Amino acid sequence: MQEIEQIYTQCRQDVYRYLCSLTRDAALAEDLLSETFLRALTGLSGFRKGACVRTWLFSIARHVWIDGLRRKRHVLSGDELLARYVEEGGPGAPPFETQVDARALAARAKELLQTRRPPAGEVLWLRAQGYSFAEIAQRCGVSESAARTLDFRTRHWLREQLQKEGAEL
């Protein structure tokens, strides 16, 4: 039981911030945080030894959030998540008002990202999905600071390209 309290203490704030970035609602994020740790506690037997606890919790949090969206009958696609991430500048950033249709923006963003050298597009995509820079670095075979730099520069480049095409971000 003490291990669970330690995991909660160490990961609570990161999972909460992640949920805030998904929901844009602190109260809802708090509710989803409770649900996330409840599911983690009940699903502890399914945790693979040696796996990253934080990654596991982020995965549970994402599923809890998606379940909530499904209950509301409004599910965001991966393209919409990418568009939201590009428009808003990452988890926790204040939203920018936009007049561009999110789906059209996401489709164009995907096309533009495919023209970039790897792993720039993958870094941006993984970040939009909620992965930490450490997890992205490991997955893409780059350092954590390189993942951060790629994310920042690719997001900046993508915004410039979309603005040149007339998108209002």
**For 112-149, what is each residue's pLDDT tens digit?**
888 888 888 888 888 887 888 998 999 889 999 999 99
Q: 100: pLDDT confidence band, cut at 50, 70 and 90?
A: very low
CATH class (in words) of the domain with range 2-72: mainly alpha
Q: Greater confidence, 101 or 80?
A: 80
Q: Greater confidence, 50 or 10?
A: 10
Residues 26-41 pLDDT 10s:
889 999 999 999 998 8
For residue 73, CA distances in Å to 35, 69, 70, 128 come to 19, 6, 5, 22
C-alpha–C-alpha distance, residues 96 and 81, integer Å: 14
For residue 56, CA distances in Å to 87, 96, 106, 151 come to 27, 30, 27, 23
C-alpha–C-alpha distance, residues 24 and 115, integer Å: 31
Task: Say whether pLDDT at 166 is over 70.
Answer: yes
Tell which residue, 90, 75, 72, has the closest CA to residue 20: 90
Helix runs in the chain, H state only: 2-23, 26-42, 53-72, 78-88, 102-114, 120-128, 133-140, 144-164
What are the backbone dihedrals phi and psi of residue 104, each rounded to the nearest 5 degrees, phi first? -65, -40
Q: 94: pLDDT confidence band, cut at 50, 70 and 90?
A: very low
What is the reported pLDDT for 35? 93
**Is 32:23 a contact under the CB 8 Å cutoff?**
yes
Task: Annotate 9-24 with b (16+ C-beta within 10 A) or e (fewer).
Answer: eebeeebbebbbbbbe
- State what percent of residues in the chain have pLDDT above 90: 20
Q: 87: pLDDT confidence band, cut at 50, 70 and 90?
A: low
Q: 102: pLDDT confidence band, cut at 50, 70 and 90?
A: low
- So where are the chain's domains? 2-72, 78-164
What is the reported pLDDT for 96? 45
